[in-house]
């Protein structure tokens, strides 16, 4: 393929991303690439600028009276959080339309993490106290299924709190995503009921509010390198 | 300020300044942005997701994103107003593509890109799907595209339609739609440069 064809492909791909016509897997792969590619960011920004005037084709729709008060509450909550955390969290893409779930999960996760932190540090023989805790909850039932604890920012332990029935031909895949990453990164497949110790040498140090999730994928792992199956357990890191 | 507003929109609102104030934690700035653009944001999102409740959720999330990411807005890269709408559009697009995945719509076709000449349709019978002229430089470039190709591009941008949905909507084969969009984008790029 010639250099100019490659360039054409890149421009067309960026244009398709802006149009929105890419299928989800390609879209997610593109976003992951976009996060670390300033040249691509410039191409995308140019397309955004060129197409933007055509948003005016659409008639405005007056929001309900409830929308602003809701935004205002979230903004207050985010401002309180960011007073503690240097950078506040963008809403995760995958659950973008279920914010109430997020509020519930974050609240419960925090409460559970504090409780579990006390229990685990009491029974633990390890000399170090975990710096970060994550309680992974099942989205449907809100029941805790796994705990992640990290004694430092480069090494984590995934501890099962029960068993999980994995359907034939499927496996649980473990993912993480910090607030400013564009896409989640796979931490590999996980055996239900088995604890797992992982070093995060290839990743930036663990940070507060970092997302962890387990999704149901094919038994060889996600074919796209990004989560494709349903979320079975999800939670965010809390510094303790 | 390089905000390229559409001629009908009053442009004395300083979007970049509002973002800068959001980045400094001034909550009034987000409220001003919302009062200025809330209805247009909801219109754009609603057209894509086609569900009122979901659209309001997305505008909520978009405003929160704008609030939290305002410090990452780079005026060198584009206008503040475009940045704001891009956040809302991409949240809406992610949500509907995610929904497509959840209901397992097969949006992959087995075929290669079909040659666009294999799909015959009389140009004169294709109606404009949009009243799309906005007085921008891009109008001229869009004008140079055949009507049905222009329709494909705008169906994607405005309605958030996937390749498969555009194919179903226009009656053109899927491979043709893909080829048309790609070639249209390259022609637009050439025309704009």
Q: For A179-216, how does the pLDDT look when each residue is reduced to its tens digit (9 = 90+)?
A: 888 788 888 888 888 888 888 777 788 888 888 999 99
Final residue before a domain boundary, out of B102, B128, B157: B102
d(CA B116, CA A9) in angstroms, rounded, equals: 17
> Do the domain assignments include residue B136?
yes
Q: Which residues of A touch B187 (CB under 8 A)?
A: none
Residue A39 belongs to domain spanning: 3-57
Mutate to test the interface with A, among B9, B24, B56, B68 (most CBs of A within 10 A): B68
CB within 8 Å: A60 and B42: yes
Do A47 and A94 fall within a single domain?
Answer: no
The CATH code of the domain that includes B61 is: 1.10.1740.10
Mutate to test the interface with A, among B67, B149, B155, B191 (most CBs of A within 10 A): B67
Final residue before a domain boundary, out of B102, B134, B157: B102
Q: Which distant-in-sequence residues (6+ apart) come within 8 Å of B121 by Cβ?
A: B148, B172
Q: Which distant-in-sequence residues (6+ apart) come within 8 Å of A37 by Cβ?
A: none
Nearest Cα of chain A lies from the Cα of B139 at a distance, in angstroms, of 9
In chain A, whose CA is at the least distance from the CA of B158? A55
Do B135 and B174 fall within a single domain?
Answer: yes
Single out the residue of A38, A15, A56 nearest to residue B74, CA to CA. Answer: A38
| Stated pTM of the model | 0.61
CB within 8 Å: B82 and A49: yes
pLDDT of residue A83: 59
In chain A, whose CA is at the least distance from the CA of B35? A68
pLDDT of residue A35: 87
Angle, vertex CA B14, rays to CA B42 and CA B44, nearest 5: 15
> Do the domain assignments include residue B9?
no
pLDDT of residue B103: 60
pLDDT of residue B43: 97
Nearest to B160 among A20, A23, A90 (CB): A20
DSSP SS3 for A67? helix
Paired with A190 in beta bridges are A172
d(CA B115, CA B50) in angstroms, rounded, equals: 32
The CATH code of the domain that includes A195 is: 2.60.40
pLDDT of residue A113: 46
Helix axes A38-51, B80-102, angle to 10 degrees: 100
| Mean per-residue pLDDT of chain A | 78
The number of C-alpha atoms within 13 Å of A187 and in the hemisphere containing its C-beta is 24
Final residue before a domain boundary, out of B102, B137, B159: B102
Residue ranges in chain A whose pLDDT is less than 50 = 84-105, 107-127
Structure tokens at B91: 């949240």
Do A131 and A229 fall within a single domain?
Answer: yes
In chain A, the number of structural domains is 2
In chain B, the number of structural domains is 2
Do B94 and B25 fall within a single domain?
Answer: yes
Provide ipTM, 2 decimals.
Answer: 0.85
Do A39 and A132 fall within a single domain?
Answer: no
pLDDT digits (tens, 9 = 90+) for A120-150: 443 434 445 568 888 898 887 778 889 888 8
DSSP SS3 for A38? helix
pLDDT of residue A96: 37
Do B136 and B161 fall within a single domain?
Answer: yes
Do B57 and B127 fall within a single domain?
Answer: no
Q: Which residues of A touch B102 (CB under 8 A)?
A: 230
Do B51 and B97 fall within a single domain?
Answer: yes
Final residue before a domain boundary, out of A37, A57, A77: A57
Nearest Cα of chain A lies from the Cα of B63 at a distance, in angstroms, of 7
CB within 8 Å: B154 and A60: no
Nearest to A78 among B31, B64, B157 (CB): B64
CA dihedral B45, B48, B49, B50 (to 10 degrees): 100
Do B58 and B133 fall within a single domain?
Answer: no
DSSP SS3 for A95? coil
10-residue mean pLDDT profile of chain B (193 residues): values are 44 91 95 97 96 94 94 91 97 88 51 45 59 82 92 94 90 92 95 88
Residue B155 belongs to domain spanning: 116-192
Structure tokens at B2: 């390089």
The DSSP letter of residue A225 is: S
């Amino acid at each position: 393929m010639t250099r100019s064809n490659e360039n054409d492909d890149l421009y067309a791909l960026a244009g398709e991303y802006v149009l929105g016509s890419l299928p989800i897997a390609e879209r997610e792969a593109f976003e992951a690439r976009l996060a670390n590619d300033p040249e691509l960011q410039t191409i995308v920004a140019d397309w955004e600028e060129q197409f933007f005037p055509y948003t005016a084709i659409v008639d405005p729709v007056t929001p309900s009276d409830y929308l602003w008060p809701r935004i205002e509450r979230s903004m207050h909550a985010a401002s309180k959080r960011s007073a503690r955390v240097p950078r506040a969290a963008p809403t995760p893409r995958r659950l973008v339309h279920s914010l109430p779930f997020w509020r519930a999960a974050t609240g419960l996760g925090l409460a559970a993490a504090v409780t579990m932190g006390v229990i685990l540090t009491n029974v633990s023989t390890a000399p170090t106290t975990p710096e970060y805790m994550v309680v992974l909850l099942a989205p449907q039932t809100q029941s805790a299924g796994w705990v992640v604890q990290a004694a430092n920012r480069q090494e984590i332990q995934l501890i099962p709190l029960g068993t999980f029935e994995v359907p034939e031909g499927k496996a649980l895949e473990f993912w993480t995503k910090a607030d400013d990453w564009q896409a989640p990164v796979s931490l590999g497949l996980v055996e239900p009921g088995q604890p797992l110790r992982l070093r995060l040498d290839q990743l930036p140090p663990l940070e507060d509010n970092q997302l962890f999730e387990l999704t149901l994928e094919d038994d060889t792992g996600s074919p796209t390198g990004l989560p494709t199956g349903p979320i079975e357990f999800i939670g965010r890191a809390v510094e303790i | 300020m390089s905000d390229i507003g559409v001629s009908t929109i009053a442009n004395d609102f300083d979007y970049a300044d509002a973002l800068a104030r959001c980045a400094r934690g001034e909550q009034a700035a987000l409220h001003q942005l919302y009062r200025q653009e809330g209805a247009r944001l909801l219109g754009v999102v609603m057209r894509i997701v086609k569900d009122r409740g979901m659209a309001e959720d997305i505008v909520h999330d978009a405003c929160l994103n704008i609030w939290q990411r305002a410090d990452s807005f780079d005026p060198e890269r584009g206008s503040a107003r475009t940045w704001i709408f891009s956040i809302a559009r991409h949240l809406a697009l992610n949500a509907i593509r995610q929904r497509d995945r959840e209901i397992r719509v097969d949006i992959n076709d087995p075929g290669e890109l079909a040659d666009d000449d294999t799909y015959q349709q009389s140009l004169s019978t294709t109606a404009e799907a949009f009243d799309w002229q906005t007085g921008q430089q891009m109008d001229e470039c869009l004008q140079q595209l055949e009507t049905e190709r222009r329709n494909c591009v705008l169906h994607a941008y405005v309605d958030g339609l996937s390749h498969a949905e555009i194919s179903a909507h226009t009656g053109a084969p899927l491979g043709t739609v893909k080829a048309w969009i790609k070639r249209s984008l390259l022609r637009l790029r050439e025309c704009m440069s």
